[in-house]
Structure 1
Amino acid sequence: MLNALTLVTGIAALLLAAWCGWAAYRDQPTKDWHFIGMAVVSVLAVLQLVIGIVQLVRGEKPEQGTTIFVAYLLGAFACVPAAGMMSLAERTRWGSVTAAAGGVVLAVLEVRLYDIWGG
């Protein structure tokens, strides 16, 4: 898998989590800028999904199995958009907490994807 993209996506997810966590600390809901940040992180996850599938189609195999790798790729792809939708429904500080949690979960999924691929 592309290790640099995994690292960049994980760091971007942690930065998003810190930013949304700071908003929650200040008792603020998610704002438009937070959603733009979520979109950027989601684009990185989509890029990772596409590259991961292309590598599988080319015949490369993850060390810990293709099924679990694809499941984690799909989870990483859906994590931040799902948190963003829940954050949009809850327009209080808890929406910011939800978005921050989505970023943390994505960062953990990135570490696990790296491990599954054999990094």
Structure 2
Amino acid sequence: MLDVLTLVTGVAALLLAAWCGWAAYRDQPTKDWHFIGMAVVSVLALVQLVVGIVHVARGEEPAQGTTIFVAYLLGAFSCVPAAGCMSLGERTRWGSVTVAAGGVVLAVLQVRLHDIWGG
């Protein structure tokens, strides 16, 4: 798959995690700016999902299987939006912690996607 896209998505997810972690450290909930950051990271994950599906549709095979690859793509795409929705329900510092955790999970999923593809 595209190594650059995987790297950019992982780094953006870690930056989002650090930003929201800093907000949690300062005892602040997620704010509008955090949701803009989540949208940017989610768009990167959406682009990765589309690119991954196009690669599979063209006949390219992930090293560890197509089913697990697509499952990880879907999980990576839904990770940050799910954390953002949960942070809306918890308007304390723990909402920021939830988004920070979602960013870390997305970064780990990027590493795993790279491994599954055969990197």
Moved beyond 3 Å, runs of 4+:
none
Tell me the residue number matched to 2:71: 71
Counting matched residue pairs gives 119
Give me the TM-score of the superposition, normalised by structure 2.
Answer: 0.99
Unpaired runs of at least 5, structure 1:
none
For 1:6-25, list aligned pairs within 5 A. 6-25=6-25
The alpha-carbon deviation at position 70 of structure 1 amounts to 0.4
The CA deviation string for residues 11-61 of structure 1, in whole angstroms up to 9 with x for no partner, is 000000000000000000000000000000000000000000000000000
For 1:28-67, list aligned pairs within 5 A. 28-67=28-67
The alpha-carbon deviation at position 99 of structure 1 amounts to 0.4
Unpaired runs of at least 5, structure 2:
none
CA RMSD of aligned residues (A): 0.3
Give me the TM-score of the superposition, normalised by structure 1.
Answer: 0.99
